[in-house]
Amino acid sequence: TSMPGKPDSKITAENNKAAKAIPINNPLPKGTLELIDGFEEENFWYALGETKSDDYSTDTDTTEEWSTQGDFCAQWSFAKIPQNAKASFAIENLVQKDWSSAKVLIADINNTCQNPLVILLETQGGPHHIISRTQEILLGIGENINVYFDLLHEITDENGNQISAITEKDDIRSISFQIKGKSFSGSVFLDNINLVY
């Protein structure tokens, strides 16, 4: 009996990594939902890369190409993202600034790239816009439904140090979704952003 050929370990590692990035399909969390943006009105988001040279976001728009609620969703585009860099998509003047009793933020995200992406949520609280960040989440290729951004656990400051809670969470001045990880240029569709209390 001959031994089966030993697979190339690098290819196996790559395949395993990709296999782990199964698209998210979470149940709706229990609690009261408050819609932050369903992208039905107009586009209130902007790409930080338009003004910051170290950010790889290029454009924000709304489109009818995909949606999980209503007719429209956001389409956020980015250039090729190098290792350890990010593409950020931000909004100011949120409909709800007081997040003190919110447990989680959820969103539906369609990753149209050919590779998994990492995403996190950054908040800026209070008059000094103090930064807090949620845990990074791995998005599979395709539709990721009810992606949970935990607002109570694993929160870090802008230097990556663990902090007990989102800073100034009763006065959130802006939020941004940051897409990280080495990626080719592409875009994601996003819809149905809700706070859950």
What local confidence, expressed as pLDDT, does residue 21 receive?
Answer: 79
**Mean pLDDT in residue range 83-96:** 94
Between 149 and 182, the higher pLDDT residue: 149
- Residue 9 domain-assigned? no
Q: Which two tokens stand for residue 59?
A: 């454009």
- Residue 12 domain-assigned? no
- Residue 161 domain-assigned? yes
Tell me the C-alpha distance between 169 and 130, whole Å: 10
Number of domains present in the structure of the chain: 1
- Residue 54 domain-assigned? yes
- Residue 17 domain-assigned? no
Range of the domain at 52: 22-196
pLDDT digits (tens, 9 = 90+) for 134-143: 999 999 999 9
CATH value at residue 137: 2.60.120.260
Q: Please state, rounded to an integer, the average pLDDT across all residues of the chain.
A: 92
pLDDT digits (tens, 9 = 90+) for 29-47: 999 999 999 999 999 999 9
- Residue 10 domain-assigned? no
Contacts of 158 (CB under 8 A, 6+ apart): 131, 133
| 3 state DSSP class of 162 | strand
- Residue 2 domain-assigned? no
Q: Which two tokens stand for residue 178?
A: 């940051």
pLDDT band, very low/low/confident/very high, at 5 (cuts 50, 70, 90): low
C-alpha count within 13 angstroms, C-beta hemisphere, residue 69 = 18
- Residue 69 domain-assigned? yes
